[in-house]
Structure 1
Amino acid sequence: MSPPVSHQSPPGTSAPIALSYELFPPRNETASASLWDTIRELEGTNPDYVSVTYGANGSNRDTAVDLLNRLMTESTLRPLAHLTCVGNSAAELAGTIAELLDHGVRGILALRGDLPTKPADAPDAGSLRYAQDLIELIRHVEQQRSALLCAGRVAIGVAAYPAKHPESPSIEHDLEVLLAKQRSGADFAITQVFFHADQYRELVTRARRAGVTIPLIPGVMPLTSLRRVRRLGELTGVEPAPALLDALGRTTGAAEARRIGVAATVDLALAALDAGAPGIHLYTFNEHAAALDVLDRLALPRPARPGPLRRTALPELVQA
């Protein structure tokens, strides 16, 4: 295990390492209270943004939009809104995009979304099929609102895959898809979870050779739960490191599992940073403790920047 390393570049040579987290909308009031405890803890690390997931076919659209609104009005965090296109028409998605922009969202992670598993749930003929279509739609809606955006641009992110996408015929096809998304207007990519240190480095090498120029941000997850690690291995089609599975399987309690998982996650993040990663994106599962442990071990320098005022604090300021 490597000691904490500062990856800050000399002043003026490059941007600082970016930091971001992923959150998902709560399912009930108890989950909401726990999530906001996590949000308050994460605020103290001054991340560049936090992404908010969006259910398949927009299944949690209202709770996702509500969380995005609350982040903008009740916290200092900048939200990146996930948006999936499978099962939604261009008109429906254009309305959602317009609503997000009108609410102040300036970053969208454009995703295809999971395909339905039952024939009865097959998307309508008029629904968008690919993330590339969604990117182009976002740019179209953005152009219609260019005056409202002060001629600015919406930052559009996409997914990248360190290992072959489970539905893809080849790694080469994955690169073709990533290039197509870049040509359609994607600004950056966040990778799916990976379990082996060389997977991110090899992705970057392949992508750059193929002509991908956008930043490729590694997504890492605190590998503290054996059940979660195994499940993600099934979803991604990538076998987790056997040594990690063995170590997690022999733990005698949550504290030991957290120590082992955090150390493994830090090793992956450090390997990605050594390979030139422009940032780290932490999949939190709405839990802050292990994510903050990872961040402490990485010792990433954070630029000092004042956060925006929360609206809930304005009446007190006026009265003062």
Structure 2
Amino acid sequence: MSPPSILTDPLERVSADHQAPVALSYELFPPRTPSAVDGLWATIRELESTNPDYVSVTYGASGSNRDTAVELLHRLLSETSLRPLAHLTCIGNTANELAAIIAELLDAGVRGILALRGDHRTDGSEEHPPGALNYAQDLVELIRRVEQRRSAMLAAGKVAIGVAAYPTRHPESPSEQHDVEVLLAKQRSGADFAITQVFFHPEQYADLLSRAKRAGVSIPIIPGVMPFTSVKRLERLAQLTGVQPAPELLTALSHAQDDGERRRVGVRATTELAKAVLQVGAPGLHLYTFNQHQAALEVLDRLDLPRPTRPAGRSSQQPSQLLSKDPS
């Protein structure tokens, strides 16, 4: 008779004494001007002290800031302990062009890619050259193909591929159900996890989890949370998502006497949202920082997340000049 195995016990009983750590990540964007470099690196050093699981680095529409983004990725790998997740968009790029970019990222040491369709161009220029990829699902499959050709270099490991998820209907989608079907297709193509676009109400995230589970989505869906400290930013995102923030939040922010009070109001509201989504099963938090660390760190202080202990990373180095010219 075989000896009893711990694996025969329900997972809840096996892990009852071990609280699962909450995933933590941040979003950064490459500096747009030389004067923004110092501020970005001050933020990077502050965020690094929290030992996040990764930091995502955005990629401009149609790769408009590709060189700056790639340089920032290189510096994160060589000068910090942070694990970068490289954004990559497919609109306006051929499969061969994207395969070359993916290979460049992997050869540099990047082991995580956020595969996105990208925004349509606003200048009316050609978006669909011959051989172009049109959907994030296609980009996920391409990453897996490039990865397969480098399996020896990766020691048969995998690249972590993230994709976008939408708690509210995508502006170009016919329905929320269609959005979930697209997410399921990206999972079947090889996506490992999803990060949501910004939302304002916890029930929007809870509803997405429920709809995704019913459809067969099993990958983690990480809520993307933005510190609610800027009225202008909230109004802009409300236009993009079609969902309004709570009127009382906008009123409180608008009536704040100064930036300090405005930040306190926004941090309190963001913390309440983060706590609510964690209570309904969020596996982690992805904080959109807008290259500013103070509000994000204040939210974390209020949450007291269970986090794994990791050894200290590379020692801090003085940041060198990241940009030689203004790319804007």
Aligned to 2:175: 170
1:137 and 2:125 are equivalent in the alignment: no
Deviations 1:243-291 (A, max 9, x none): 1111111112111110110011011100110001100000000000000
Q: Aligned residue pairs: how many? A: 305
Q: Does the C-alpha gap of structure 1 residues 229 and 311 become closer, same or farther in structure 2, counting only changes over 3 Å?
A: closer
Alignment of 1:211-290 (within 5 A): 211-290=216-295
1:160 and 2:165 are equivalent in the alignment: yes
Q: What SS does the aligned partner of 1:22 have?
A: strand
1:22 and 2:33 are equivalent in the alignment: no
TM-aligned CA deviation for residue 12 of structure 1: 5.9
Alignment of 1:1-320 (within 5 A): 13=18, 15-309=20-314
C-alpha distance in structure 1 between counterparts of 2:273 and 2:307, whole Å: 20
TM-aligned CA deviation for residue 307 of structure 1: 4.0
Whether the 8 Å CA contact 2:91–2:127 is kept in 1: the answer is: no
Percent identical: 68
Q: TM-score when scaled to structure 1?
A: 0.92
Whether the 8 Å CA contact 1:156–1:188 is kept in 2: the answer is: yes
Task: Report which stretch shifted further, 135-144 or 118-127.
Answer: 118-127
Q: What SS does the aligned partner of 1:122 have?
A: coil
Q: Does the C-alpha gap of structure 1 residues 228 and 311 become closer, same or farther in structure 2, counting only changes over 3 Å?
A: closer
Structure 1, unmatched stretches of 5+, are 1-8, 314-320
Aligned to 1:5: none
Deviations 1:99-153 (A, max 9, x none): 0000000000000000123433433232110000000000000000000000000
C-alpha distance in structure 1 between counterparts of 2:312 and 2:297, whole Å: 20
Aligned to 1:316: none
TM-aligned CA deviation for residue 301 of structure 1: 2.2
Q: What SS does the aligned partner of 2:115 have?
A: strand
Q: Return the letter of the residue paired with 1:154.
A: V
TM-aligned CA deviation for residue 236 of structure 1: 1.7
Whether the 8 Å CA contact 1:175–1:207 is kept in 2: the answer is: yes
C-alpha distance in structure 2 between counterparts of 1:10 and 1:250, whole Å: 47
Q: Does the C-alpha gap of structure 1 residues 195 and 14 become closer, same or farther in structure 2, counting only changes over 3 Å?
A: same
Deviations 1:41-91 (A, max 9, x none): 111111110000000110000000000000011111110000000000000
Task: Report which stretch shifted further, 12-21 or 234-243.
Answer: 12-21
Q: Return the letter of the residue paired with 2:263.
A: R
Q: Return the letter of the residue paired with 2:74.
A: N
C-alpha distance in structure 2 between counterparts of 1:312 and 1:195, whole Å: 37
C-alpha distance in structure 1 between counterparts of 2:145 and 2:216, whole Å: 25
Q: RMSD over aligned Cα, in angstroms? A: 1.7
Q: What SS does the aligned partner of 1:200 have?
A: helix
Structure 2, unmatched stretches of 5+, are 1-13, 319-328
Q: Return the letter of the residue paired with 1:115.
A: H
Whether the 8 Å CA contact 2:223–2:282 is kept in 1: the answer is: yes
C-alpha distance in structure 1 between counterparts of 2:225 and 2:200, whole Å: 9
